[in-house]
Amino acid sequence: MDNNMSDSRKQLDRQRQADRRSFLLFRTVRDFTMSTLILGMAFLLLAGQHFELTRRLVLSVDPLMRYMFGGLCLIYGGFRLYRAIKKDY
């Protein structure tokens, strides 16, 4: 009877470890993706006037707002990238 209990407990532990690994992979991929998107937005806001494709879009926004929001995106995107690399969940 004890052998069956220990086998089921081991199987449950293995399943929990597999679930934890899956969760960590999902969070890591999500954090890398979000940090890439947010840092890309910061790049477009801060340096978009130098590219023909985004010049009209970026120059239609007030420069102060553009630089403030671009700075916030840069800080938050950097934080998300740090969190993805550190994997502290």
- What are the tens digits of pLDDT across the range 2-11? 566 677 888 8
> Tell me, what's the pLDDT at 13?
87
Condensed to tens digits (0 to 9), the pLDDT of residues 32-55 reads 999 999 999 999 888 877 777 667
Under 8 Å CB-to-CB from 71, ≥6 apart: which residues? 42, 46
Q: Is residue 1 helix, strand or coil?
A: coil
Domains identified in the chain, total number:
1
Q: Is residue 39 helix, strand or coil?
A: helix
Rounded CA-CA distance 16/13 in Å is 5
What mean pLDDT comes out for the span 25-29?
93
User: In which domain, by residue range, is 70 found?
Assistant: 2-86
Angle CA 75–78–84, to nearest 5: 145
Condensed to tens digits (0 to 9), the pLDDT of residues 48-84 reads 777 776 677 777 778 899 899 999 999 999 999 999 9
Per-residue pLDDT for 29 more than 60?
yes
